[in-house]
Amino acid sequence: MDILIVVALAIALVTAAVTDIRNQRIYNWLTFPLIIAGFATHTVFGGFAGLKFAAGGFALGFVAMAVPYFLGVMGAGDVKLMAGIGAWLGVEATLVAFLFTCIAGGVYALVVLAFNPSMCKTVLRNIAYTFLVFIGTRQFNFASADEQQALPRLCYGVAITVGTIGAMGIFAWDSGSIFVGY
């Protein structure tokens, strides 16, 4: 069963990262079968307990990424990809994958800013201004980046891929198994 999870997720994650880099999209033809296959696999091998395992992971993956989506900083494909990952990994591993994804996304954003020095200066200036306004007025008044210079787009499918592979590696190292739950 572990090998099935690893192979299915590895194929889906690599495909998602490549399509996100090339087209800045993670397609439904990838995410919906990933979600359905996660539910089906766990239901076949675990019955009702497997279904609950997949549903819990799906719900956590969906909700965790839906919040940034509704704030306008994440694409719908990213949300569906993390939901599909959750359907395969269950709640515990999905939480770790999400946290690792957040770390990978932060590092990714810093690397992108490092290769764009003028944008990095603008972002740092805005952060400093926001901090100084907060210290002086005790009001959080964020100043967005310069309107003439748009922030670079991040292909968050890459961060999701790195974070999920990291979480799977941790679970495999820690317990000898990725498949935990029922």
Arithmetic mean of pLDDT, 40-68: 95
Report the first-to-last Cα separation within the chain, whole angstroms. Answer: 12
Nearest to 39 by CA among 63, 8, 18, 66: 8
Which amino acid, one-letter code, is at 74?
A: M
Q: Using 50, 70 and 90 to split pLDDT, how confident is the model at 129?
A: confident
Does residue 61 have a pLDDT over 80? yes
Give dist(CA 101, CA 118) in Å, integer.
Answer: 26
pLDDT at 17: 96
Structure confidence by residue, pLDDT tens digits, 132-174? 888 888 776 665 655 555 667 789 999 999 999 999 998 887 7
3-state secondary structure of 152: coil
Give dist(CA 169, CA 174) in Å, integer.
Answer: 8
pLDDT at 53: 95
Give dist(CA 111, CA 130) in Å, integer.
Answer: 22
pLDDT at 7: 92
Does residue 67 have a pLDDT over 60? yes
Q: Using 50, 70 and 90 to split pLDDT, how confident is the model at 180?
A: low
Structure tokens at 5: 């999870």
pLDDT mean across residues, the chain:
88
What is the dihedral angle through the alpha carbons of 147, 148, 151, 155, rounded to the nearest 10 degrees? Answer: 120
